[in-house]
Amino acid sequence: MKIHKEGRRILFFTLLALLAVNLLLFRYNADNSGFNKVFAGISVIMFLILLQFFRSPARRLFTHEDLIIAPADGKVVVIENVQEPEYFDDMRMQISIFMSPINVHITRNPISGVVRYFKYHPGNYLVAWHPKSSTKNERTTVVVESEAGPLVLFRQIAGAMARRIVWYVNEGDEVSQGEEFGFIKFGSRVDIFVPLDTEIKVQIGEKVKGGQTVIAQLKTPPPSLF
């Protein structure tokens, strides 16, 4: 299993700390061997949970210029028309994917194109399913002019457990569908905003995989014959 680069430092120092505590317990608390064994077992479980959180599984990416691919693993929790106030200032279709602590937390470009807008917003840490988390929580906003033409906005949102958002894109960058654009540590969600005439391919409650599941199809003009 490959470990994501964002987790290697955390895993290394966590392992050192757990080993140090367990060695100290077995040396200076030898009379309480039962407690020491229980603590050792808990340490192993804690480390394995952390290890799976930072896993980076190999993915066969699915790409197509007019298809929106899931930017993250998780469950679809919102599909609705909303007013998007930050960039478009008009009505858009919002698709939200909730990422639990057991999901892979790599975030991927849902579409290929050029980054026309990027902004990081410090903020609160409301639970990720809270209606105001999209505008109140720590978050990043990325707008990509897709190769198919329409602009697509997607947003990393920190949750109650997520306390750090990492991103790898900036305005003017060319991005490829399915490639990593960031990482959210310890549970959160991703919002995608598309034009209202976009055809949605998923349903509320459906589980999706980042870089693989088609969540929507953009409506593009037919090619001109002249």
For CA atoms 222, 224, 114, 117, the dihedral sign is negative
For CA atoms 144, 150, 155, 156, the dihedral sign is negative
Biggest CA-to-CA distance, the chain: 88
**Token pair listed for 204:** 């509320």
Q: Which amino acid is at 62?
A: F
- Residue 112 catalytic? no
Q: Catalytic one among 43, 112, 146, 188?
A: 188
Query: DSSP label at 137?
Result: B
Q: For residues 169 and 209, what is the distance between their CA atoms, to the nearest angstrom? A: 21
Residues with active-site annotation: 188
